[in-house]
Amino acid sequence: MSNTVLVIGPSGSGKSTSIRNLDPKSTFIISILDKPLPLKGFKSKYNPLARWSDKEGNYLQTDDWQRVVRCIKMINEDRPEITTLIVDDAHFIMANEFMARACEKGFDRFSEIAQHMWFVMVAITKSRPSLTCFVLSHNEIDNNGVSKPKTVGKLLDDKITLEAMVTTVLHTVVKDNQYTFLTQNDGLHVCKSPMGLFDELYIDNDLQFVKQAVEDYFNEGE
C-alpha cells in the first residue's frame, strides 16, 4: 500500500505552499480546481499531461472522479519515476459534483458522490509502497467544534470517515505568523501520526520533509 498522508486546513493556511520543495521530476499533481499554485516558476516545472501515454507530463487538471482514479492507476502502474502524488483541493471532487447535480431530487446523489470519493481514496491507498501520496483538502468545523476533513452529505462521515482510511493526518496551523503542520490531535483538530514519526507537535509545512520522514518510517528494511 502507498504511504498516504491527508493534509487538511482552511484556505490560505499553507496547504499548497507545502509543495514548494518537492522535486518536479518525481512529483505528479492532480489539480481539481486548476488554480495556479503559489510556487515561483510553477508553470515551467509542472507540464500538463497531453495523453495517458505521456511520459513527460506531471500535471493533470480534472474534477471528474473517474479521470482522477484513472490517473492514479496510470501513475501507479506506468510511471515508476513518480514517487510523489499530490491531489490538490480534493474535497472539490465532491463539491463540484454536488453543484453540477444540485437540481436532482432525492438523496441518491449524496450516496453516489460519497462512493466516488471513496473510489478515489481506495485507488490512492492501494497504490505501490514506493509512491507517497498527499491528499490536500479543506476543513470544516463539526457540531463539537472540531476541525475535520470537509465532505458533502453525511455518508462519508457516518460510515467511513476519510481520516480513518489513512495512518497520517496533518492539519495546517498558522503559528507565530508561520505555516506549520499539527501532527497530533489536540482535541480541536482531527490529525494523527504514528508514535515516533515526528518528534514535535508542530512541524514546518514542508511536504518534502514529511515525505522523507514517512518513507523512512514505513519503508524501513525494504
Question: Could you give the percent of the chain with pLDDT greater than 90?
Answer: 70
The one-letter code for the residue type at 89 is D
pLDDT reading at 172 higher than 70: yes
Q: Which residue has the cell 508561520?
A: 178
Q: How far is CA 162 from the centre of its chain?
A: 11
Judge whether 24 and 153 are in contact, CB under 8 Å. no
The alpha carbon dihedral of 56, 59, 61, 64 has a sign of positive
Output the pLDDT for position 18: 94
Q: Which residue has the higher pLDDT, 132 or 164?
A: 132
Cell numbers standing for residue 188: 480541536
Helix, coil or strand: residue 70: helix
Q: How confident is the model at residue 158 (pLDDT cuts 50, 70, 90)?
A: confident
- Asked if the model's pLDDT at residue 162 lies above 90, the reply is no
Mind listing the domains of the chain with CATH numbers?
3-218 (3.40.50.300)
pLDDT at residue 107, as a whole number: 82
Amino acid at 103: C
| The predicted structure's pLDDT at residue 64 | 96
163 in the Ramachandran plot: left (φ > 0), alpha (ψ -120 to 50) or beta?
Answer: alpha
* Averaged pLDDT, 27-53: 89
Q: Burial of 61 by CB count in 10 Å (0-12 exposed, 13-18 middle, 19+ buried)?
A: middle
62-86: average pLDDT: 97
Please check the confidence at residue 221 and state whether its pLDDT lies above 60.
Answer: no
pLDDT value, residue 163: 87
Query: Is the pLDDT score of 185 beyond 70?
Result: yes
Helices (H) and strands (E) in the chain, counts: 6, 10
> Could you tell me the pLDDT band of residue 160, with boundaries at 50, 70 and 90?
confident
pLDDT greater at residue 106 or residue 85 = 85
Do residues 104 and 47 touch, judged by C-beta distance below 8 A? no
